[in-house]
Structure 1
Amino acid sequence: MHRLKIFTFLTVSFLLVSNGIAQQKILLSKAKIHVGNGKVINQGLVGIDGEEIVLVENALTFTYDKTAWDTIIDLKGQELYPGFIAPNSTLGLTEVDAVRATRDFNEVGVFNPHVRSQIAFNAESEINTTVKTNGVLYTQTTPQGGIISGTSSLMKLEAWNWEDATLKKDDGIHLNWPSTTKGGGWWAEPAPKKINDKYTEDVIKIRNFFEAALAYSESDDLYDARFEAMRAVFTGTKRVYFHANELRALTDIIDFKREFSIQYPVIIGGYEAYKIADQLIDAEIPIIIKGGHTLPTNEDDPVDLPYRLPALLQEAGILFCIQNSGRMETMNTRNIPFLAGTAMAYGLSEEQAISAVSLNTAKIMGVDQIAGSIEVGKKATLFASKGSALDMRTNELTLGMIHGKFIQLTNLQTKLYEKYKEKYKSK
């Protein structure tokens, strides 16, 4: 006899920890679905078979056979989202910023395209658990330092080890483009910024390295680990992530991209990208922009410019997503949803803000065929929240999945909260 299991969100926590239930075909019912591509289904159905989404329909108009599903979970009154993605992150590469032994993201050397963050990813990081409970389920684990820091990979945040965690390995190299200025900053006021006299010299070093790597890629006579890692850049299977913010740097990157026929360039930062939107669109360069919880960079910038940048890029038609690099970026990865919420308060619509931390990110990284939205054929990486996931007051997850598997929604903080809630309840 077919035994159908129907659960409400109050019993989902049992599902997450039970080893006695073998979920194969699961139906998530009646949630408000934020698809991730701009569409919303107010009362939707999401069917999951193994790792994949096999059904996305409107519950009010679609008739289905209940016996076709092993488990039905009633999420009425809740909101369902695709798993959010944290790009350009040291998550999984560091545990305690103040303890050097746990910081595995900065290698010795200047040009290190052969350094692979994938194999250094710590699937058992305690920080990962705090990030998942806010809906961030993928991360682009990214090295730092030098001119070319290394090669990033896209990872799942629940896995047995780095092999199991890998969604896309070696997706691109990270190049720290030199700054055109030096000095300045709020801590140095009133000292103004100065021109970086070594800018041209530093760009020439990058160009020389790329010329040598291009020549190497056209020959099989020698073996060099650094140049071997660059080969896929010229064949069009690996991205180049240019870390840059200033206007001149951005325009020079556009020229550099054309000079070396880089097929998949991406700019990380792009603070002044809105000023040259047409050129970036013509060059097909997307932006991974820093979230708005920061101060303006230039002395004469509007005070709210960092908060409005996502809306400016959206209005200009540039493909962009949101990241949170900066001080304490690993632990602050959990704030990715709230950076999107801030962008929503400064001009983005709710669905545009959701796309900026889900489908847009997947498109930029080349994994939008399997991740980034709740659509048929994609991996079942999603979560349900009692309220808006972009608001820290209402982001309260009741269910989470990565590739069709339920994930734990507890961390050290939630455990301590429950522990001391019981302690003081008795008094």
Structure 2
Amino acid sequence: MKTSIATFLILLIGLNGYGQKKYNKILIEGATLHIGNGQVIPTGSVGIENGVITLVKNTLAYTYNKTDWDTVINLSGQHLYPGFVAPNSTLGLTEIDAVRASRDFHEMGTFNPHVRAQIAYNCESSVIETVRTNGILIIQTTPRGGRISGQSSLMASACWNWEDGTLKADDGIHIEWPSAYSRNWGDPITKPNEAYEDQKRELIAYLTNAKVSANNKDKNTPLQFSALSEGFTGEKRLYFHANEVQQINDILDLITELEIKFPVIVGGYESYLVADRLKIKKIPVMLGRLHSLPQHDDDPFDLPYKLPFLLQQAGVQFCLQNEGDMEAMNARNLPFLAGTAMSYGLTEEEAIRSITLSTCEIMGISKNYGSIEVGKKATLYGSVGSALEMKGNQASLLMINGAFVPTTNFQTELYNKYKTKYGK
């Protein structure tokens, strides 16, 4: 069977749920392939068998027999990307920020390393539906609150339930490092946090005791300490949320002292000021939302936009994330953050890498996700135009682990409904 793009769109509309319609052998041809690792094939073909990429070639140099593939999809003139990845996000844990009952990301207490976001993930979220159609196919659903917030998990943005949607359970533990400075609302003056040293000592003591307990393998180890143990053995990442130079330097000292194997800085607004240390220690950074105002009065107005380029020039591995106000809903803007980074120094393929392969490498899933390469799972996003531009980002194909996902959501359905009623 050979399926044109028009027939393919009808096929998508007819799907009955996620992951129900799978074909054994699929060929996608004619698209501009953005591999995710910095490479691009202007007219490429991608072959998929049983959900795994088995072929990546230049379409013009590849011929095949009709019997080679069950389904052939022509995306000529369009773009094909690895599925975009939204790290450090409350997607799936919240629906309406103003309604407390719909927010399931903040637990009571200060130290909660045992709290797991995975089992609270809501596959039926309407917010996820709108984010997915902008290319966000993998989500690091992440808890918030306290000094140690809990454990994130890597989830598919289309699934039946949290078990079905889990790509990697409990990938890391998130630690909110205390701020060295404080500022009252409306006050332009930043003041030192007089309690910083005490707060830092309390956190360091907790982490040190957790490591000692993990090393001793005491059967009576508290649940909170045992949950942290895999963060010290390297089985899980330790994500340190910090923006200030003082915070980052103190974290780097702690990483050396406790011999933490896979640390990650989350936020990293001032990370460019200590880029040399980060590079030497090979510590990656999940940069905060680029579409933000400068944090300090004497910062250049475009510093947030330039941060990816500054880290890239310094040789520090980084990716982009979207923590902040209404972050679940605004996760749809992730590809446009990459577009901004492209406007301020990165090449297009470097910008794409910052929301695909780099993110997967930092989170430890690059063996299966993050790029369009043979042997990886077929998690792909097809767009009519450039996905890094608002006008160009129009979904024509969504695929997670080789399963087709509808390219519409309730917003596009309403748009088409009223466009029909009122005309163009």
TM-score range, shorter chain: over 0.9
- Deviation track 1:50-83 (CA, whole Å, cap 9, x = no partner) reads 1111110111122333311000011111100000
Quote the Cα distance in structure 2 between the aligned partners of 1:11 and 1:288. Answer: 40
Quote the Cα distance in structure 2 between the aligned partners of 1:163 and 1:90. Answer: 18
Asked if the contact 1:385/1:395 (under 8 Å) is kept, the reply is yes
What is the aligned partner in structure 2 of residue 425 from structure 1?
A: 423
What is the aligned partner in structure 2 of residue 80 from structure 1?
A: 80
Q: How does 1:126-205 map to 2 (within 5 A)?
A: 126-183=126-183, 188-189=186-187, 191-205=188-202
* TM-score, length basis structure 2: 0.97
2:205 to 203, 208, 230: 208
Secondary structure of the 1:60 match is helix
Letter in 1 for 2:290: G
Quote the Cα distance in structure 1 between the aligned partners of 2:381 and 2:120. Answer: 27
Post-superposition offset of 1:317? 0.9
- Which stretch shows the higher mean deviation, 218-227 or 40-49? 218-227
What is the aligned partner in structure 1 of residue 9 from structure 2?
A: 13
Letter in 1 for 2:297: E
Secondary structure of the 2:327 match is coil
Structure 1 unmatched ranges of 5 or more: none
Post-superposition offset of 1:101? 0.4
Q: How does 1:21-420 map to 2 (within 5 A)?
A: 23-183=23-183, 188-189=186-187, 191-217=188-214, 218-420=216-418
- Which stretch shows the higher mean deviation, 26-35 or 175-184? 175-184
- Which stretch shows the higher mean deviation, 14-23 or 405-414? 14-23
- Which stretch shows the higher mean deviation, 207-216 or 254-263? 207-216
Letter in 2 for 1:130: T
Asked if the contact 1:93/1:122 (under 8 Å) is kept, the reply is yes
Secondary structure of the 1:76 match is coil
- Which stretch shows the higher mean deviation, 225-234 or 15-24? 15-24
Quote the Cα distance in structure 2 between the aligned partners of 1:30 and 1:38. Answer: 19
Post-superposition offset of 1:230? 0.7
Quote the Cα distance in structure 2 between the aligned partners of 1:110 and 1:383. Answer: 39
Alpha-carbon distance change, 339 to 22 in structure 1, aligned in 2, over 3 angstroms: closer
The number of residue pairs the alignment matches comes to 419
Asked if the contact 1:15/1:406 (under 8 Å) is kept, the reply is no
Asked if the contact 1:307/1:342 (under 8 Å) is kept, the reply is yes
Secondary structure of the 2:81 match is strand
- Which stretch shows the higher mean deviation, 217-226 or 394-403? 217-226
Quote the Cα distance in structure 1 between the aligned partners of 2:78 and 2:173. Answer: 39
Post-superposition offset of 1:425? 2.0
Quote the Cα distance in structure 2 between the aligned partners of 1:258 and 1:65. Answer: 57
Quote the Cα distance in structure 2 between the aligned partners of 1:151 and 1:251. Answer: 24
Asked if the contact 2:22/2:404 (under 8 Å) is kept, the reply is no
Letter in 2 for 1:18: G
Sequence identity, in percent? 54
Quote the Cα distance in structure 2 between the aligned partners of 1:260 and 1:22. Answer: 47
Post-superposition offset of 1:22? 5.4
Quote the Cα distance in structure 1 between the aligned partners of 2:40 and 2:289. Answer: 24
Secondary structure of the 1:309 match is helix
Quote the Cα distance in structure 2 between the aligned partners of 1:52 and 1:221. Answer: 42
Letter in 1 for 2:414: L
Secondary structure of the 2:345 match is coil
The CA RMSD over aligned residues, in Å, is 1.3
* TM-score, length basis structure 1: 0.96
Letter in 2 for 1:299: D
Secondary structure of the 1:197 match is coil
Secondary structure of the 2:365 match is coil
Post-superposition offset of 1:19? 5.1
Quote the Cα distance in structure 2 between the aligned partners of 1:159 and 1:376. Answer: 24
Quote the Cα distance in structure 1 between the aligned partners of 2:22 and 2:100. Answer: 42
Post-superposition offset of 1:221? 3.1
Post-superposition offset of 1:275? 1.1
Quote the Cα distance in structure 1 between the aligned partners of 2:421 and 2:15. Answer: 30
Quote the Cα distance in structure 2 between the aligned partners of 1:65 and 1:38. Answer: 31
